[in-house]
Structure 1
């Protein structure tokens, strides 16, 4: 009996990884923009979310799980492409940081959802979501970018300039993470 790999049915992982990564980025970017529409920076400590803008928060919270699914698909496709050539240490860091990133993203979205119930931009939900995103999710994203750049460079998938850009991006995420302007 022939395996799927030998019959040509194997998933085309580079294309699948690229597509999933792009869809993830578009979905997460859309969710971030929608949250900024609903709760703009500098709205004031006691500001109430405009009822006309609550749709943006609801839609953003509906998009985040799908972004997480595409991120996990991206991780799986990348790992399948790397196969046995992958370094165990880097592979472990890649998986761990990716899973923690998705988990913190989901936790922050759940906390941001409490803003709808609270009716204000203040309180536990808003501050907690901000802290989880800037202190933890951004830093896990940085570690993930480092690991992905290392894997891509070692396997020859990424040209050297792209791997260097990945390392610089990861460094910026680690350093600037908690410096992102937050709730006023």
Structure 2
């Protein structure tokens, strides 16, 4: 219960973003590892189907990625909560809608990707001879996994980065280097992702930078004994 001077409420407001910012760092690490493992496990070329079916190391990579992806999505929601709490009541409704919509769609596509990859593993685990029909089904699953990762999830991630960066820039709570980094990452996610490149890894790297910034600023506020609104001092 809050005290008469509001100490408990203030303490709760200070502690929540610090914990959530740490969760954002964890989400960035888990997501980065999972994306890298998916990229290493699922070949970009259809002609590699036979090798993939008989390569147990690549399937192990995908199994590990599937174990990490649900936790990455959960911690990503904590990261979204940390950013919203960091912004406070000053958020713009338009960009806040883009922020929430793109973030939730990204998590949804992440889980669809995981379910599709799990089905791909289930097919290949029972296909010792790899018949023509099984290979065709494998090709469908391989293409769907890569499309979800490189064409849809990353585009939603780009919208999420743009909306978050714009909110942080307009309120002066992001330093200039983080603003420029955000817009650069969004451009990369929109136009440079695909093929054999692993540039979608810039998204968890951006998450790591934002989470670290939020953690440092909230830690300073906690040590200062108050929670000031967004100012130029926070963005320095």
CA contact (8 A) 1:13 1:81 kept: no
SS, match of residue 12 in structure 2: coil
CA contact (8 A) 2:49 2:139 kept: no
Displacement after TM superposition at 1:129 (Å): 1.1
In structure 1, list runs of 5 or more residues that go unmatched. none
Partner of 1:28: 31
Whole-Å Cα distance in 1 between the matches of residues 188 and 44 of structure 2? Answer: 21
Whole-Å Cα distance in 1 between the matches of residues 152 and 46 of structure 2? Answer: 24
**Rg comparison, structure with higher value:** 2
Written as runs of structure 1 = structure 2, the 5 A alignment for 1:4-153 is: 6-7=7-8, 8-42=11-45, 44-47=47-50, 48-49=52-53, 50-119=55-124, 122-153=138-169
Partner of 1:172: 188
Aligned-residue Cα RMSD (Å) equals 2.4
Which sits farther off after the overlay, 53-62 or 144-153? 53-62
User: 1 or 2, which has the higher helix percentage?
Assistant: 2
- Deviating above 6 A after TM superposition, structure 1's stretches of 4 or more consecutive aligned residues are none
Whole-Å Cα distance in 2 between the matches of residues 53 and 167 of structure 1? Answer: 34
Which sits farther off after the overlay, 40-49 or 82-91? 40-49
SS, match of residue 44 in structure 1: helix
Whole-Å Cα distance in 1 between the matches of residues 165 and 25 of structure 2? Answer: 16
Whole-Å Cα distance in 2 between the matches of residues 108 and 115 of structure 1? Answer: 10
Q: Could you tell me the TM-score, scaled by structure 2's length?
A: 0.69
CA contact (8 A) 1:20 1:71 kept: yes
Partner of 1:158: 174
Partner of 1:2: 2
In structure 2, list runs of 5 or more residues that go unmatched. 125-134, 198-236
Which sits farther off after the overlay, 40-49 or 69-78? 40-49
Whole-Å Cα distance in 1 between the matches of residues 16 and 179 of structure 2? Answer: 19
Q: Could you tell me the TM-score, scaled by structure 1's length?
A: 0.86
Q: Which has the higher contact order (CA 8 A, sep 6+)?
A: 2
Count of paired positions: 181
